[in-house]
């Protein structure tokens, strides 16, 4: 890429940043995170459908916390939680981050980067979908009581054979 081409790309990026700053100032928000729905929609990420959110992969876990650029509250208290346990504001910041990851992967143009972009866009859509769902008043369903073994309680208590063996009675 020649110097002129790089200069044009840099000017385009500056124009996008200035446009975002102007939109944040006009909305009265104090940070770009408050306006993430507009930033994400520019990258054509649609909210995930209810079928996707209720599916096997619809509620991903936050494996790595967001960087301070996207989420000022450090350390990230949502790391290790699922999307359904996060705040809408955090999910919109996550969508912005995932959208940026997809954008950078699209720029690379390799087969691996296409895959990375595809899954980043899926996660961004899921984050937006969960944010909208939570804002609409969604509450998690009550978890059923878990049991282990052959009907015994999960810790201590009846072992399924009528024996009341607690954790302290384990012989090893």
Tell me the mean pLDDT in the region 33-46: 52
Residue 39 has pLDDT above 80, yes or no: no
**pLDDT confidence of residue 155:** 52
Structure tokens at 149: 């073994």
Region for 124 from its dihedrals, namely left if φ exceeds 0, alpha if ψ lies in -120 to 50, beta otherwise? alpha
**pLDDT confidence of residue 32:** 46
**pLDDT confidence of residue 111:** 86
**pLDDT confidence of residue 84:** 93
8 A C-beta contact, residue 149 and residue 160: yes
Weakest-pLDDT range from 6-15, 56-65, 108-117, 132-141 = 6-15
């Amino acid at each position: 890429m020649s110097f002129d081409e790089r200069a044009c790309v840099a000017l385009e990026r500056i124009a996008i940043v200035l446009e975002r700053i102007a939109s944040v100032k006009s909305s009265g928000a104090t940070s770009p995170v408050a306006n993430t729905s507009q930033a994400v929609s520019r990258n054509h990420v649609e909210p995930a459908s209810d079928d996707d959110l209720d599916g096997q992969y619809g509620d991903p876990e936050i494996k790595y916390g967001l960087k301070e650029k996207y989420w000022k509250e450090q350390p990230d208290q949502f790391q290790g939680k699922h999307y359904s346990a996060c705040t809408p504001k955090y999910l919109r910041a996550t969508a912005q981050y995932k959208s940026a990851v997809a954008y950078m992967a699209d720029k690379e143009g390799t087969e691996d980067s296409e895959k990375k972009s595809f899954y980043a866009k899926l996660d961004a859509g899921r984050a937006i979908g969960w944010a909208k769902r939570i804002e609409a008043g969604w509450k998690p369903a009550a978890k059923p009581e878990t049991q282990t073994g052959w009907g015994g309680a999960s810790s201590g208590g009846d072992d399924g054979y009528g024996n009341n063996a607690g954790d302290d009675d384990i012989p090893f």
